[in-house]
Amino acid sequence: MEIKVTLPDGQIKGYSYNTDISAVAESISSSLKKNAVAGKVDGKLVDLHHRLEKDCRVEIVTLDSKEGHDVHRHSTAHLMAQAIKRIYGGTKVKLGIGPVIEDGFYYDVDIEQPLSVEDLAAIEREMNAIVKENLPIVRREVSRDEAVSLFADLEEPLKLELIRDLPEDAVISIYDQGEFSDLCRGPHLASTGQIKVFKLMSVAGAYWRGDSNNKMLQRIYGVAFLKKAQLDEHLHMLEEAKKRDHRKLGKELELFMFSEESPGMPFYLPKGMIIRTELEDFSRGLQRERDYSEVRTPLMMNNRLWEQSGHYDHYKDDMYFTQADEAKFALKPMNCPGHMLIFKNNLHSYRELPIRLAEFGQVHRNESSGSLNGMMRVRTFCQDDAHLFVLPEQIEAEIGQVLDLIDHIYNVFGFEYKVELSTRPADYMGEESLWDQAEAALEKVLQNRGLPYRINAGDGAFYGPKIDFHILDALKRSWQCGTVQLDFQMPQKFDLTYVGEDGQKHRPVVIHRAVYGSIDRFIGILTEHFSGAFPVWLSPVQVKLLPVSVNHADYAFEVKQALAAAGIRVEADVRNEKLGLKIREAQLEKVPYMLVLGDNERNSGTISVRKRDGGDAGPMSIDELARLIAAEIAGRK
């Protein structure tokens, strides 16, 4: 019996019944077989020894592909679990799950002994020994009863729980390598000898299946790469990330602080407030040019509003509630319902649309204490929200203008970005036909603009699909910030209307839009992106005056007054300290310009300029420096 296989290039080749994926790869080229680690049959990932039983589409997965990396890392997770079992005894270690994550993997284990850095080194040594053994990794499919019997004999209660929760018609597969067996869908490498470079990184606590009612397990994190140079680069990036950590720099540069009196809620210090104000003013100016109207809505509103909008059903576990006037109120987790009320406050004609309402709105979300992370995950933050109320025929043009605005702002900070189209989630609200219409409209905008994007299926907001922007920082880490969401649901929920050209009432469409996303988080991202050395326009202190001695303090204050009058943020260090110390401290503060003021400068009415990134810039007049800095500020440099 011959099976017809369609290859990615459209070529159709015939193979014997039960031919495996490895043979298909070899028939294409010997080099492809050498690099193959898995296959895709009709879009489903399978092992190389998977046998073909019917006509299908086949794609060979190579080790250097994204899916190949995942197969390699998943196999390394199993390798680590086997090593742990060998070291601590098979029945003394209870295995949870071991998925692939970015750059690596983890495995949750239940073991009495708290694992230390020294323990991780011992586990690594055993992993390397198993690699040298080059054990075949073999998949076998078993019945539910066989799986239960196997893991009962192995005394693996967590695996038994996973089996119990599998659907009745689930295919249950087990992977064996030497004495080690694990429950897994796969696919995996053909043998442990194919596993390349890895390193175990850390241990953390993790509740089984993410439920705080379950037992706390130990989660062991590792990374895996194909070459040692890639691992070395990754470790270097981690060290660089530590230096750039916004929590560390925020404290050193006196930007923001946190207090146990208000967990997860940032306090802005004067210098941090300067950065935040500059970011808001920058965005505010661009929005003013684009005919946005700025509004402000209350922090707390009656809970019936959140029930009406649908936010209560989707966010109630993360919302803060209180009682007032015998009614239930909630701190807002989103700004959109307030904007719906503002639109509804007046009768609108089609001639007024689009109406663009913008707000720097403070929102509150009751995040779990374990998830809090500096400015990156907080319980209160400011969203640079806007809601555009548009006619159906205005959708494409308005979204296009929003995309231009986002692109402009990200370019100012030097951010590259990637785009995702997130589609209908499982808990979507409203009619399926309206969702189809909204998704098609967003896809049309992206395609017409030639903007590359990928589909992120099922990750849309509960009220509409969205275009998400993922910016890449200086370390090429990805952060989801900007979003454009198309919403046919909220106008229905709030019965929003406008009077059309025919004199009848019609329903507007709402476009939700954010660029920074959370301003607080964006500040954290910028702090790490610039390593605290903010561009001149954002720097809390743009010029630091460094008099050589106390005898030059009067001249320092003259210079300070002149620069401040030119709109430049300037500080004078008039302490009776050595000049070298003042220069070092100003460098640590990452001030863009440092001015050394001594006898020569005072007598000539000039200044000696040192740049943060360029050393000694030599003498110049106060006016020259003021013009130079003003030009940099105007150019957002």
Q: Please list the active-site residues.
A: 336, 365, 383, 385, 387, 466, 512
Could you tell me if 333 and 319 are in contact, meaning their C-beta atoms sit under 8 angstroms apart? yes
Give SS3 for 263: coil
Q: Given the DSSP bridges, would you call strands 454-456 and 416-422 parallel, antiparallel or unpaired?
A: parallel
> CB count, 10 Å around CB of 608?
18
Q: Is 450 left (phi over 0), alpha (psi -120 to 50) or beta?
A: left
Helix (H) or strand (E) holding 162: helix 157-164
- 229 burial via Cβ count (<10 Å: 0-12, 13-18, 19+): exposed
Contact present, 20 and 51 (Cβ < 8 Å)? yes
Q: Which two tokens stand for residue 539?
A: 């720097």
For the chain, state the CA radius of gyration.
Answer: 30
Under 8 Å CB-to-CB from 163, ≥6 apart: which residues?
144, 147, 148, 151, 172, 183
Contact 257, 269 (CB under 8 A): yes
Per the listing, tokens 């010997």 go with 30
Q: What tokens were used for 37? A: 């680690």
The residues near 443 (Cβ < 8 Å, ≥ 6 apart) are 421
Q: Where are the alpha helices (DSSP H) in 89-139?
A: 117-133
CA-to-CA separations, 530 to 375, 523, 527, in angstroms, rounded: 16, 10, 6
Calpha distance 152→550 (Å, rounded): 80
Q: How far apart are CA 574 and CA 580, in angstroms?
A: 13
Residue with tokens 């000539």: 604
Contact (Cβ atoms closer than 8 angstroms) between residue 423 and residue 462: no
Query: d(Cα 577, Cα 361) in Å, to the nearest integer?
Result: 45
